[in-house]
A = this chain, B = another copy of it.
């Protein structure tokens, strides 16, 4: 069993740099989180970007799609900022034979009470159990990526009726 991971940044990877009193996107947390989870599957991590998802460009998304489309692995997991996750999901639509799952976090992985390990666990399960297509897993739901939005009032993802 093998999962191919792509990271573009987002809150999940945010760390704090006291030297600049700044809070920036750091290196991918996914490897550390897999180690904590004692996972035994094979995986590769490809870092596409290290950005707040509001700063992601069409070129970033095109690069991601091109890399995913040519990936030999049929199970694709993308860690991503939450604000434009649905946008990136749309760009990834229509790649045949691949189950693509996007997730991220509302609190940085380094926080004691972050949702990152839970969300990543959901993504790892969904990528191996769902039919080919694009999915977003957040707030305990496996959403069809075409039928979900981030509600900015409640700061949670919800299905579009």
Contacts and interface: CB of A to CB of B under 8 A. Distances in A.
A118 B117 contact: yes
Contacts of A38: 106, 115, 139-140, 156
**Complex copy number for this chain:** 4
Given A38-B115, A117-B117, A106 B11 contact: no
Interface of A: 1, 11, 14, 16, 18-19, 21, 23, 33-34, 36-41, 52, 54, 81-83, 106-108, 110-115, 117-126, 128-130, 137, 139-142, 152, 155-156, 158
Highest count of chain B CB atoms <10 Å: which of A38, A124, A128, A141: A38
Given A11-B16, A16-B23, A142 B117 contact: no
